[in-house]
Structure 1
């Protein structure tokens, strides 16, 4: 992180979490290719918008993964040890975890997400519906090391990372996350993970640029968040959502395009945009089964089982930590 940027953020007397957000924003927008981390999509408003996205007809990943989880729940549950704790990285709505909880009784569930208020509300609903389940929400950046609740120390641990979120990481970042998750979960841990597969871009692009414009609102909300939390003066209508498929990199890219030449101000810093200049906000990498298997192995995991839908759109994998 740029030291000048970090000091500048602290000078505005922001709380520590907002200081990190501010420093990342100012640093990202000062680069030749302006960028913002996709983890900042998920404030309360962004989390709610993403739930809407998952219900859209164009957005195949959620319904396809749900189909795999429902169809294979028994097989997946058979791999979970008795009296286990499930740790969900980047937990959002509880639809997917409920499938596993209904198929196999576990001792504890730990939803981990940067949006603390959202996961706390979701946790309350789980406690009502699964009264014997111990639920321990953890507000943390799941891409960095964090402490698990002490009550889980002696329990076997199973990570849960659905939703193809792994694709938001650069390949080296994906390897870092998988290795970090292995360290957090500990020896003998398992990881159940969803991974989106390579496919025709005629199906891919609409999933990230839907006709109702919900994904556009989701992308633009990060600008609204900068205005709300950092006192920015970005004119949101002066930016447009764009999704493209980068075939060479096997990824969908999301950008925010400046519709005109403009200058904005964030925490006293002036940032200039050219007409047509973009902020790169997200990548969504798509994997082949062999490429994902190699990534997992290089990151300290052994592939135990894989499941896909009949059309080969999406995959779910069960991994085991290497000794």
Structure 2
């Protein structure tokens, strides 16, 4: 448990590595110009999209969030025993305070918390919230793109360095991209550092497809909001009502593919560009890759990590892995 120390004030620091900010216009032009049209999934999360995603996390069909929280809650003490005291906790993304809170509450006098995020506003808000909740904890907020080269704040507490990457966000990368990502982070974290990472597991399509296409249509509104966002911010003229959200699980690869499928021919205008979308044509917006436990551990081993432990829920829907840089 964290205890308040006399020097609790002024322990929030901000490190700005000035990451290149995403340009929606450029990405949209590039994505709609291809033979197979696509829009990067990172543009799902404007203010409206983020609110819709919060609703998705509460849906009965969407098991990942509540299942991972349950795994962390049930096993945080065991994780903390492995980690030890005075640890530096590096979180990739300044995400759910509920998840990081479960870990911080279980740890013995953690030295510092290092959230890393590309969004300055979101990062600062999350860092300030954690610092207020844990006033004795040093918070070193790092504004950076995970993929850029930067140094982590020094780990001066004498304890282990832990990378925390919940949410199965690794699943938005192809396996080859995930290998490159994990390889980069094993080198950055250094030998002996640990990683706690959430990984969604392969399972039947009857569970996976409703998780990404719920009966209430919230996920469909979340996906379609990306087109509405383009209309609002960029002046495009998508007829959002003539697109349909589609999620299909491909069991041969473990991939859930998510598309917006045109229900009629359309011409989309953006500045001087004209993009024809034919009836039945798909705009690909997201992939979510699922793994067998052994397959993910083998991937991590190729990236320089040794598997230390893994925890799952009773139904084996989701997994949380403890890896060590070898």
TM-score (norm 1): 0.88
1:96-148 Cα deviation digits (max 9, x unpaired)? 10000100032222222334323332222212211111223334333x13535
> Which of 95, 105, 111 does residue 107 from structure 1 map onto?
111
State the distance in 2 between where 1:59 and 1:228 align: 28
Pairing 1:283–2:251 present: no
278-287 vs 149-158, which moves further: 149-158
1:224 CA drift (Å): 2.9
- Which stretches of structure 1, 4 residues or longer, exceed 6 Å deviation after superposition? none
> Which of 180, 193, 203 does residue 184 from structure 2 map onto?
180
1:11 matched to which residue of 2? none
Long gaps (5+) in structure 1 = 1-14
State the distance in 1 between where 2:247 and 2:92 align: 25
State the distance in 2 between where 1:87 and 1:168 align: 20
- Corresponding residue SS for 2:21: helix
> Which of 86, 89, 93 does residue 92 from structure 2 map onto?
89
CA contact (8 A) 2:111 2:157 kept: no
Note closer, same or farther for the CA distance 1:274–1:206 as it changes in structure 2 (3 Å cut). same
1:51 CA drift (Å): 2.0
1:81 CA drift (Å): 4.1
1:149 CA drift (Å): 5.3
Note closer, same or farther for the CA distance 1:28–1:243 as it changes in structure 2 (3 Å cut). same
1:214-265 Cα deviation digits (max 9, x unpaired)? 2112212222333344333323222221111112221111111112111112
- Corresponding residue SS for 2:188: helix
CA contact (8 A) 2:39 2:285 kept: yes
1:163 matched to which residue of 2? 167
2:246 matched to which residue of 1? 242
Long gaps (5+) in structure 2 = 1-18
State the distance in 2 between where 1:47 and 1:113 align: 15
Pairing 1:269–2:273 present: yes
Note closer, same or farther for the CA distance 1:32–1:293 as it changes in structure 2 (3 Å cut). same
Pairing 1:295–2:295 present: no
1:6 matched to which residue of 2? none
1:144-181 Cα deviation digits (max 9, x unpaired)? 13535545577642111111111111110111111122
CA contact (8 A) 2:94 2:126 kept: no
State the distance in 2 between where 1:221 and 1:141 align: 24
> Which of 179, 191, 195 does residue 191 from structure 1 map onto?
195
152-161 vs 292-301, which moves further: 152-161
- Corresponding residue SS for 2:115: strand
1:204 matched to which residue of 2? 208
State the distance in 2 between where 1:263 and 1:168 align: 29
2:69 matched to which residue of 1? 66
**Alignment root-mean-square deviation, CA:** 2.1
CA contact (8 A) 1:50 1:218 kept: yes
State the distance in 2 between where 1:46 and 1:140 align: 22
- Corresponding residue SS for 1:210: coil
CA contact (8 A) 2:94 2:127 kept: no
Query: Which structure has more helix as a fraction of its residues?
Result: 1
State the distance in 1 between where 2:284 and 2:233 align: 20
128-137 vs 311-320, which moves further: 128-137
TM-score (norm 2): 0.87
